[in-house]
Structure formats: C-alpha cells, structure tokens
Amino acid sequence: MIRVVIVDDQELVRAGLRALAVHDGDVEVVAEAGTGREGVARVREHRPDVVLMDIRMPGTDGLEATRAIVADPALETVRVLVLTTFDEDEHVVEAIRSGAVGYLLKDVSPGDLRSAIRVVADGGSLLSPAITASVMRAAVEGAPHALDAGRLESLTAREREVLEQVGRGLTNDEIARVLFLSPATARTYVSRLLAKLGARDRAALVVLAYETGLVRPGD
C-alpha cells in the first residue's frame, strides 16, 4: 500500500482527492490537514510515502510546509507533490527548489492522479512536458542567478546533452532513444548529474536546466 497525506485548506478538495486516490485499492490516505503547519505535524506522525500539498493555505503555506518536511532527516523518504493552478507558476518553481518532486494541476483526471502518486512513491518525479515550459518560465525570468551557465562547467558535453533532455521533460527511456544510448546508460548519466550538481532529484535538474539557459521556454 502507498500511504498518502493530503494537505489542502478546502475540505471538499480533500474529500475529492481522497476518493480518487483510494479508488484502485493500492493507496491509503492515512491523514488529512487543512493548514501547512498541521500538515507537517501529520507527516511527522504518519511518515507517509507521498504528500499531496496545496500551495496556497492560510498561515503556514505549502511552500513553508514543503521546506520543513524536506529539511527533516527523519522524513527523508517522504515525497511531496504540490497541487497547483496555472496562475501559480512562480510558486511551483519555489516548491521544487524547496524539494517537491513535481506538481499536479488541481483539475487532474482521476487516472492521472493515481498514476502520479505511484510514480513519485516509486522514486520518480512528475514534470509534465505539456506544462513544464510554462511553470519553469518563472525560473528564467525571476531567479537572481538565471542563465548562469557557469554552474554547468563541471559537466562533459554528453552530460550537458542529457541534462538538456531532462529539462525538456523526457524520461530515461526517451533520452536513450534521442541520444542513441542504452536505457541503463541514460539512467547512469542522470544519476551522475544528480551527484555532480548536488540536485536532490530529477525535478531539481529540470529547474537547473532552465535557470542556466540550457533549456528555454518554448524550445
């Protein structure tokens, strides 16, 4: 069973997410919270596999709650997936910088919600190519260190190519096909990038690709 905590200030939204998440029988919602502060407490109490985290909440918001969860060594295995709308681009970028593994639009379909929970519980990141460019535009336009290509000086030419494809939202198998690598080699390159760049996960690599100008919105 995949154990989930839902954090959202709207009770109706929480009820809907709970009903959708548990539908197939492999997900258990172990707790809910209506504020970020309460959410952090519930996460520390239950240590779930996945947290569905709203961004906008009164008091402690989803960004602060995400940072608190990621900074707690006892919660190292907890994966935070933020819930967002299109008008919250800059907040999503900040959430990913804070350690969230990806994002879901609040109008996500039932099947996509359950798939997303499984993906992140299995160690993956959720960055839809369809909306990544929109979300990451804030990283390019608003980050004080945007387009700092010097952060990639330690990378080989091939590692830059792999990072570019990660930034475009490609999976390891897709990267392997585009760059004529084996899937195992593509995975090795991604793991190497995480270590070299000090990135927590694949989502952080995507932000880095945009912030350094390796990938630009609209590419």
User: pLDDT value at position 170?
Assistant: 83
Query: Helix, strand, or coil here: 56?
Result: coil
Contact 171, 177 (CB under 8 A): no
In the sheet that holds 50-54, the strands lie side by side as 27-33, 2-7, 50-54, 79-84, 102-105
Predicted pLDDT at 51: 97
State how far the Cα of 29 lies from the Cα of 11, in Å rounded to an integer.
14
CB-based contact 103:88 (threshold 8 Å): no
Which residues pair with residue 104 across a beta bridge?
83
From the candidate CATH numbers 3.40.718.10, 3.40.50.2300, 3.30.450.20, 3.90.76.10, the one assigned to the domain spanning 2-126:
3.40.50.2300
At residue 105, φ and ψ (nearest 5 deg) are: -75, 145
Residues of the chain under the 50 pLDDT cut: 144-147
If DSSP codes are grouped into helix, strand and coil, which group holds residue 124? Answer: coil
The alpha carbon dihedral of 170, 171, 172, 176 has a sign of negative
pLDDT, tens digit, 9 for 90 and up, residues 53-108: 998 888 889 999 999 999 999 999 999 999 877 656 667 777 877 888 888 888 88
Question: What is the pLDDT, as a whole number, of residue 89?
Answer: 62
Q: Do the Cβ atoms of 184 and 121 come closer than 8 Å?
A: no
The residues of the chain that CATH labels 3.40.50.2300 are: 2-126
pTM score: 0.75
Q: Letter for the amino acid at 68?
A: A
Q: What pLDDT, on a 0 to 100 scale, did the predictor assign at position 145?
A: 46
Identify the pLDDT of residue 35. 94
Q: Is the CATH code 2.40.50.140 the one for domain 138-211?
A: no
Q: How far apart are CA 31 and CA 43, in angstroms?
A: 8
Range(s) of the chain covered by CATH 1.10.10.10: 138-211
Tell me the residue length of the chain. Answer: 219
- pLDDT the model gives residue 56: 87
